[in-house]
Copies of this chain bind each other. A is one copy, B any other.
Amino acid sequence: MKYYGGIEAGGTKFVCAVSDENFEIVAETSIPTTTPEETLEHVFAFFDQYELVAMGVGSFGPIGIDPTKDTYGYVLATPKKGWAQYDFLGNLKEHYPGLPFAWTTDVNAAAYGEIKQGAAQGKNSCVYLTVGTGIGGGVVVNGEIFSGISHPEMGHIHVKRHPDDTFVGTCPYHNDCLEGLAAGPSLEGRTGIKGQDLPENHPIWDIQAYYIAQALMSYTLILAPEIIILGGGVMNQDHLLLKIRQQFVDQMNGYMETPEASEYIVRWGLPNKSGITGCLLLAADAAAKV
């Protein structure tokens, strides 16, 4: 039996898993993200117990993905202490010399997990958007993770303001970009109440749906994916998903033909597992390429 390793490396925690070649998870652990050295010590202690044939890593970002650059495999300009300019992949490779690695963002891994085994199964392309502490997106095109000179950073596009919204925004780079106006902290920033404690009938949900739908419209007009998957804590709410679909239809105003909103904009098919599933699938791909 072959074993694959997967690391969904988030800014808060690392989810590490080992699966067999049918992607059945045989061991899993969650490690708080502290310093790189301390975190990787726990990561190694976990994976050292297994004979792996490959490992897939989906990391919080931004990360270096250009193999021709020195920063390939690095975590780049993150505010997470100790991780900016850290050679994450290099340190993994040093500990597991010769092991094939796949390396992408956490959200790209999630998009890949969703298209192979989740809500986008059978499609050729998808956008995966997670709305939580931040907003991040991953893209699959022609069955493969999509990237250009960088991986997508689609949570930071600018949006048209909701007429009732005067909130300054929380993004340290852009203030009122999508993430600044619609990620979790913006809910608490406007109301003083944490997102999970806000009642369904609070007007802020209309504002948040307005921004998220607008971003989905931009992704659609630029990428025209077959399906859009929404994941993350904030999306675990039926009423919000319905509002987003309605806003999407209203804002698009028939300009580009897409599938019915209920089939085009859907919730993740692998709740809380999209990312780690994608990492394990990417590990298998890396093993197959050797």
Contact = CB atoms under 8 A, between A and B. Distances in A.
Contacts of A147: 224
Contacts of A255: 77, 153, 156, 173-174
A55 B153 CA distance: 38
Contacts of A139: 222
B257 A158 contact: no
- Most chain B C-beta atoms within 10 Å of own C-beta, residue among A77, A214, A226, A253: A253
A118 B160 CA distance: 34
B222 A257 contact: no
B173 A224 contact: no
A223 interface: yes
Contacts of A157: 217-218, 221-222
Contact of A125 (B148, B156, B223): B148
A1 interface: no
A158 B253 CA distance: 13
Contacts of A251: 158, 174
| Copies of this chain in the oligomer | 2
A72 interface: no
Contacts of A152: 221-224
Contacts of A222: 137, 139, 152, 154, 157, 218-219, 222-223
Interface in A106-139: 125, 137, 139
A150 B224 contact: yes
A141 interface: yes
Interface of A: 62, 76-77, 125, 137, 139, 141, 146-154, 156-161, 173-174, 176, 214, 217-219, 221-226, 251, 253-259
10 contacts: A77-B254, A139-B222, A150-B257, A150-B258, A152-B223, A157-B221, A158-B218, A173-B253, A174-B253, A223-B223
